[in-house]
A = this chain, B = another copy of it.
């Protein structure tokens, strides 16, 4: 099937782009590492950027699904779920494949605003923000959107710091801060 070949390409390209970066990954490396011919790639995607966009879309889907599922696995009540966000982060930080946030790296390598790659990164962040805001509302926060934005800052900071300094203790710091912010809004 053609669709599965395409999916296979996007999956493998995602892994390599995430591991090595975008500019540092040439099409010939993708050919060598995926075993998929260059002609086939360009049959499915007009340009390298189109392939990158497909990889980012897949990443967004996989990442959010995993995170949402894990958060809802870890806690039933909304307040517990807000805290579980950081537990799931901690698990991610300590997993083998952790190499920082793919969207932060993408918008770092493609810094021009309004660019498709930049837009998809912004969209990814907004979707997670909405999710957190929804939980914050259910939890009865006074200002759920403010709380959600604050927790997102802790999340982004934790991801970046875990990537630069190593994963240990980072999510705990974020969680301890999150608890204070949550308490402040639920009193």
Contacts and interface: CB of A to CB of B under 8 A. Distances in A.
Interface of A: 19-21, 23-24, 99-100, 103-105, 107-109, 111, 113, 118, 121-122, 125-126, 146, 149-150, 152-158, 160-161, 163-166, 170, 173-174, 176-177, 180-181, 184
Contacts of A173: 146, 149-150, 153
Copies assembled: 2
Contacts of A113: 166
A165 B108 contact: no
21 contacts: A21-B23, A23-B24, A103-B164, A105-B109, A107-B163, A107-B164, A111-B163, A113-B166, A118-B164, A121-B164, A125-B161, A150-B173, A150-B174, A153-B173, A153-B177, A154-B154, A154-B157, A154-B177, A157-B157, A177-B181, A180-B184
Given A173-B153, A180-B180, A111 B20 contact: yes
A126 B99 CA distance: 20
B108 A100 contact: yes
B105 A108 contact: yes
B109 A109 contact: yes
